[in-house]
Amino acid sequence: MRALIHPRAEITDTLERIYSYRMTTTSGGNLSIKDSNGDIWITPARIDKGSMRREDIICIRCSGEIEGLHKPSSEHPFHQSTYRNRPDIGAIVHAHPVALVSFSICRKIPDTKVFPQAAHVCGKVGYAPYEMPGSAALGESIAAAFGRKHNCVILENHGVAVGGRNLQEAFERFETLEFAAKTIIKAGMIGQVRYLSDAQIALSEIPRTDVPAFAPTPATTREQALRQELCDFIRRGYRQRLLTSTGGSFSARLSDDTFLITCYHIDRKTITLDQLALVKNGQVEAGKVASRALRIHEAIYRKHKDVHSVVNANPVNATAFSITGVPLDARTIPESYIFLLDVLTVPFAAQYGNGEEVAELVSMRRPAALMENNGVLVLGRTVLDAFDRLEVLESTAEALINAKPIGALQPMTPGQIQELATAFNLT
């Protein structure tokens, strides 16, 4: 497919996304794209990242000529060196997100085998020894790490550099790696981090392309409304950092045997109505590849007629519990218990079967689950209900983690739990 977005627009749009989520500072980091002519488009030096304009982006021609209103980033040598050494890389993101900087100043590398999406998207992470920012030596150090076929590189005492075939792929790797780093740090505050084996990673590698297809009839107004509602909540979930651009599946029941679910490998920030797949009687609408979580959602809808929405998500704090084996105790404040009841854990292997094992574990009486090394699962009677539970689950997880340095957790008493169960019909 031909690229129709100008590199200047793509860089400023991506930079705004990175800056708005505090994954870089006003002065920190740089982005670049190598176009089909071999010219490099790059952010300028010493220009506010929070108000970057398209006309601020600099072009370094193949000839070495520099075009633009400003000087190019002082770190452009490492971008150029990387493009020379890795012709498969067409874009680079370099920034200083807090969690990855924490790893860099401890001279550690985050292990992406903490959950499948990180392993698939980022792969094994490389490491570049310290050299002075902007120096030719730094360029050589980073280019050498990329040359060892790493697509993500921790820069010692500096930050991270990430490459991709295009800027979207580079950003996805960058965001996913920062999420993995945050999750590992949070998990370390509550227990021992559990990593996945190569065999476990292999279980989750292939999207569901073996599902039979059907040609859908024109969408009813109810389907149109449900598509809009799902997209609105998915985009909100991304803004709330409950989903990443590459992770999270959201579905809603349309009728007894029909539901809508997110498509495989779509950007959750910009999801559109046609990036939801209609599933009917085990078949997926033609031309769509549904989420890997398809069979789980399908099995839940088949078994539980009172469930009308299902969400798989990767909020940092709740995901931290999922990678430690530490129980998430919702018996903390009334709202947590009313919405979540007792949060269970779904074994990793059960997530990649036909979905029946997961459907047996969950219900509207057990509407929230930790998916071992894979985030969380929540159920709802409506899309709003499911989203609300997801927010409550993440807020509860964050409160539990934040309580660690304050003192011993004091959950509600059995008598208080029984009082809630009676008042809100939770039994």
Active-site positions read 75
- Tell me the backbone φ, ψ of residue 60, rounded to 5 degrees: -105, 110
Q: Distance between CA atoms of 208 and 261, rounded to whole angstroms? A: 13
328: tokens are 């998430």
99: tokens are 């969690």
Q: Distance between CA atoms of 311 and 394, rounded to whole angstroms? A: 13
Q: What angle do CA 257, 260, 262 make, to 5 degrees?
A: 140
Closest to 60 (Cα-Cα) out of 49, 74, 46 = 74
- Tell me the backbone φ, ψ of residue 317, rounded to 5 degrees: -70, -45
Task: List alpha helices for 221-285, DSSP H.
Answer: 221-239
- Tell me the backbone φ, ψ of residue 361, rounded to 5 degrees: -80, -35
Q: Distance between CA atoms of 362 and 96, rounded to whole angstroms? A: 40
| Contact yes or no for 419/343 (Cβ under 8 A) | no
Q: Which helix (H) or strand (E) holds 339?
A: helix 334-340
Q: How many residues does the chain have?
A: 427
Question: Which residue has 């498969």 as its token pair?
Answer: 88
Type of residue found at 192: Q
Q: Distance between CA atoms of 418 and 427, rounded to whole angstroms? A: 9
Query: Could you tell me how far CA 341 lies from the centroid of its own chain?
Result: 26
Closest to 226 (Cα-Cα) out of 254, 249, 248, 250 = 254
Sheet holding 344-346, edge to edge: 213-214, 283-285, 276-280, 258-262, 249-255, 309-313, 376-380, 368-371, 344-346
Rounded alpha-carbon distances, angstroms, from residue 308 to 301, 341, 344 = 7, 18, 20
304: tokens are 């539980």
